[in-house]
């Protein structure tokens, strides 16, 4: 509404008022001007502007909600990104499958539009896989528009809150975040809303030997960050081979985490070389054996063929030993 329209309406209103009231002193009347009409209508104009701004904000809010409302997409247009899926044990996957077989998907899959009419999965890889295994062709999704820098980060932080995410996968996510942003452990802890000590323990994986990490990849759920921190300390103490052996037995289910730490920490007894015992010496008279003796260390063992011979030899040996002892003393 322009100023001319406002002035016209104002003039009409004043004319109607003048026609209904008795005449007044002309000295009390003043001419109606455009600035005056504008000042008179300014509160109404301000109120209309406020209503227009609120209506525009509400319309923008509804438009955003419509854009983010779940829609259904064919499963064959969804693209899975390597290393972004959260690992589930067979039992956890079967539990999720049983749930979705009988209940609607409460949390739609989050996707990002890419080329050729396809959509990259940001979060929800296992839910999509369950839908495929159930023979379904469509799945509820929410389409987000994120720049490439934030897609992996959003996927990681979405999974970070899942209790089934292993510490090894959390480590890989924070490692990728560190390489992508250059952030310190303190900054990453702040971004994730966790204590810095947790981030420090997760990065203990950095200090495991490569062979141990390859073993952990097979079953990441069996080893936690506390165990890894202890293993990393042992590696720094020069026990890498023992750590690899302990991790292998842990992954294969032969040891618990506590047992694996003890296994990698144990002292290996050093074998002390012992003298090889000499073969028995046989004393013969012609073809007959009189006795045999065998020495080992500081001992001398004699066996006779008969007790009579032993009695006779004992007196001779006692005298010989006494004489030897005396000569040793004199020397």
CA distance 328 to 326: 5
Q: Is the pLDDT of residue 244 over 90?
A: yes
Mean pLDDT of 126-153: 83
Mean pLDDT of 283-309: 83
Question: Residue 278: which pLDDT band, with cuts at 50, 70 and 90?
Answer: confident
Identify the pLDDT of residue 245.
94
In degrees, rounded to 5, the angle at the alpha carbon of residue 10 between the alpha carbons of residues 6 and 13 is: 140
Domain boundary among 246, 266, 286: 266
Per-chain mean pLDDT for the chain: 80
Whether residue 286 is contained in a domain is answered as no
Q: Is the pLDDT of residue 251 over 90?
A: yes
Tokens 């047992």 locate to 259
Q: Is the pLDDT of residue 264 over 70?
A: yes
Highest-scoring range by mean pLDDT, 18-27, 147-156, 304-313: 304-313
DSSP 8-state class, residue 141 = E
Domain boundary among 251, 266, 281: 266
Whether residue 219 is contained in a domain is answered as yes
Whether residue 45 is contained in a domain is answered as no
- In terms of domains, do 160 and 211 share one? no
Question: Residue 16: which pLDDT band, with cuts at 50, 70 and 90?
Answer: low
Q: Is the pLDDT of residue 275 over 90?
A: no
Give the domain extent around 229.
Answer: 166-266
CA distance 220 to 161: 17
Whether residue 122 is contained in a domain is answered as yes
- In terms of domains, do 181 and 253 share one? yes
- In terms of domains, do 171 and 218 share one? yes
Q: Where are the alpha helices (DSSP H) in 69-164?
A: 90-102, 125-133, 148-160
Mean pLDDT of 220-224: 91
Q: Is the pLDDT of residue 41 over 80?
A: no
Whether residue 311 is contained in a domain is answered as no
- In terms of domains, do 184 and 236 share one? yes
CA nearest 227: which of 248, 204, 209? 204
- Domain of 112, CATH number, reads 3.90.1530.10
In the chain, pLDDT over 90 holds for what percent of residues? 26
Mean pLDDT of 154-178: 75
Whether this model's pTM surpasses 0.85: no
CA distance 103 to 97: 10
Tokens 């369950």 locate to 130
In the chain, pLDDT over 70 holds for what percent of residues? 74
Mean pLDDT of 111-136: 89
- In terms of domains, do 80 and 150 share one? yes
Question: Residue 24: which pLDDT band, with cuts at 50, 70 and 90?
Answer: very low
CB 152 within 8 A of CB 121: no
- In terms of domains, do 104 and 150 share one? yes
Per the model's pLDDT, the better-predicted residue between 26 and 296 turns out to be: 296
- Domain of 226, CATH number, reads 1.10.10
Q: Strand, helix or coil at 51? A: helix
Q: What is the number of domains present in the chain?
A: 2
Domain boundary among 266, 294, 317: 266
Whether residue 112 is contained in a domain is answered as yes
- In terms of domains, do 181 and 210 share one? yes
Identify the pLDDT of residue 304.
84
CB 156 within 8 A of CB 86: no
- In terms of domains, do 121 and 177 share one? no
- In terms of domains, do 260 and 172 share one? yes
- In terms of domains, do 240 and 178 share one? yes
Phi and psi at 141, nearest 5°, equal -140, 160
| DSSP code string of 70-85 | -EEEEGGGEEPPTT-S
- In terms of domains, do 157 and 183 share one? no
- In terms of domains, do 160 and 170 share one? no
Identify the pLDDT of residue 74.
93
Q: Is the pLDDT of residue 303 over 70?
A: yes
Whether residue 28 is contained in a domain is answered as no
CA distance 160 to 154: 10
CA distance 72 to 103: 16
- Beta bridge partners, 299, equal 296
Whether residue 161 is contained in a domain is answered as yes
């Amino acid at each position: 509404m322009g100023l001319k329209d406002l002035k016209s309406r104002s003039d009409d209103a004043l004319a109607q008022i003048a026609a209904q009231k008795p005449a007044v002193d002309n000295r009390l009347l003043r001419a109606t001007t455009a600035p005056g009409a504008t000042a008179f209508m300014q509160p109404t104009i301000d109120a209309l502007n406020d209503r227009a701004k609120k209506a525009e904000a509400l319309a923008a809010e509804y438009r955003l909600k419509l854009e983010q409302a779940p829609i259904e997409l064919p499963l064959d247009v969804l693209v899975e990104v390597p290393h972004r899926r959260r690992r589930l044990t067979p039992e956890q996957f079967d539990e999720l499958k049983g749930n979705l077989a009988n209940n609607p998907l409460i949390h739609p899959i989050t996707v990002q539009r890419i080329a050729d009419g396809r959509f990259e999965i940001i979060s929800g890889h296992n839910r999509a896989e369950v839908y495929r295994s159930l023979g379904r062709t469509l799945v509820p999704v929410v389409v987000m528009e994120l720049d490439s820098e934030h897609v992996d980060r959003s996927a990681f932080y979405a999974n970070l809150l899942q209790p089934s995410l292993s510490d090894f996968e959390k480590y890989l996510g924070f490692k990728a975040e560190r390489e992508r942003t250059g952030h310190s452990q303190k900054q990453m802890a702040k971004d994730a809303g966790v204590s810095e000590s947790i981030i420090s323990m997760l990065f203990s994986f950095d200090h495991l030997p490569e062979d141990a990490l390859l073993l952990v990849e097979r079953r990441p759920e069996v080893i936690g960050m506390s165990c890894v921190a202890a293993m990393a300390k042992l590696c720094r103490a020069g026990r890498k081979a023992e750590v690899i052996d302990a991790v292998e037995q842990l992954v294969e289910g032969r040891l618990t985490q506590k047992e694996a730490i003890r296994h990698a920490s144990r002292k290996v007894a050093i074998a002390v070389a012992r003298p090889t015992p000499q073969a028995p010496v046989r004393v013969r008279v012609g073809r007959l054996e009189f006795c045999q003796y065998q020495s080992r260390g500081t001992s001398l063992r004699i066996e006779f063929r008969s007790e009579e011979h032993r009695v006779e030899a004992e007196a001779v040996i006692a005298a010989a030993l006494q004489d030897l002892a005396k000569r040793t003393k004199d020397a």
